[in-house]
Amino acid sequence: MVAERVEGTVISATGSWYEVATAEETLRCRIRGRLRLKGVRSTNPVVVGDRVVVEPDGENSVIVEIVPRRNYVIRRASNLSKESHIIAANIDRALLLVTLHSPSTPREFVDRFLITCEAYKVPVTIVLGKADTLVGEYAAEAEEFEAIYGDAGYEVMRLSSLTGDGVEEIRAMLHGHTTLVAGNSGVGKSTLVGSIDPSLDIRTGEISDSHHKGKHTTTFSTMYPIEEGYIIDTPGIKGFGLIDIDDRELCRYFPEMMRLAPDCRFYNCTHTHEPGCAVREAVEQGMVAWSRYESYLKILDEDDKYRK
């Protein structure tokens, strides 16, 4: 038990209990009941990656303060909820693990995750997983995916935890940083973490034969020390509802569109119908991928910004 107030990092959040790593030890803590973040209606006021202040409370320790976050990744908790769910905080980089089949990651999911990271200033690398299977009928699809997101301005790399291709490149990327690994269930997040450090005890699962979707293996977000930094393994995300994204600002979270926006005839162009729109012209010429523009239009047309 902690003898006085100390600061530490939340490395695991499992319901009502949190593990907090301090300079001296790892403490099992609860949160003080009245502890809430100002201005954020969240299902989880304390998240993995948070810097927190802990003090003794009887036989246990209690989190009494959250140090201001420098960034976080957030989504809407559910399509019936107005609350948010924060996935992790204080992140140096996010790795979005995507698979083109078994299971297939929806492009709209990819775009929504990228929008949130752009809005909260979290750099993203897209990792195209199960690269050993991207041959034959899937080769052209993989090349198209890489072209779309590479042209948008994102680093896209291939990974095969089975053959080891890409593992060393990701290991180097992790060195000395806090990295979030995110994606749909079954794309291989926990397998990736385990392949980088086999000593970590991480559960992995099979793909459902009947639905070709991933089974949840990680139940709660957990931060692991790795390569002189940390990696955060997260539960599979089914839907990614957007939070606090204003329609007027949406374009700036599509980097390839934001680069073109200054060339539009009207400074307040919505890139939907206005004459002299540089973004629409680029879409028509194939300079901006239709799938990305389609995501933009769909999100712009939504009231609650929630989709699976």
Single-letter code of the amino acid located at 152? A
Tell me the three state secondary structure of residue 295: helix
CA distance 152 to 149: 5
Q: Which fold has domain 247-300?
A: Ribonucleotide Reductase Protein R1; domain 1 (1.10.40)
- Assess whether pLDDT exceeds 90 at residue 42: no
The single residue listed with the structure tokens 């107005």 is 82
- Assess whether pLDDT exceeds 80 at residue 28: yes
- Region 185-196: mean pLDDT is 85
Q: Supply the pLDDT for residue 213.
A: 40
- Assess whether pLDDT exceeds 70 at residue 208: no
State the chain's mean pLDDT as an integer. Answer: 86
Residue 180 CB partners (closer than 8 Å, separation 6+)? 49, 73, 87, 88, 91, 93, 94, 95, 122, 231, 232, 234
- Assess whether pLDDT exceeds 80 at residue 43: no
User: Which range among 31-35, 126-130, 207-211, 223-227 has the greatest average pLDDT?
Assistant: 126-130
DSSP H/E element including 155 = strand 155-158
- Assess whether pLDDT exceeds 80 at residue 170: yes
Tell me the CATH number for domain 6-66: 2.40.50.140
Q: Supply the pLDDT for residue 147.
A: 97
Query: pLDDT, tens digit, for every residue of 45-64?
Result: 899 999 999 998 887 899 99
Q: How far is CA 123 from CA 15, 94, 116, 155, in A?
A: 28, 6, 10, 10
- Region 151-165: mean pLDDT is 93
User: Which range among 26-35, 40-49, 220-229 has the greatest average pLDDT?
Assistant: 220-229
Q: Supply the pLDDT for residue 209.
A: 38
Domain ranges of the chain: 6-66, 72-233, 247-300
Tokens coding 233: 């393994």
- Region 137-146: mean pLDDT is 94
The CATH class given to the 72-233 domain equals alpha beta
The single residue listed with the structure tokens 């990327």 is 173
- Assess whether pLDDT exceeds 70 at residue 196: yes
At 243, is the pLDDT very low, low, confident or very high (cuts 50, 70, 90)? confident
CA 155 to chain centre: 15
Produce one character per residue of 199-213: b if its CB has 16 or more CB atoms within 10 Å, e if not.
ebebebeebeeeeee
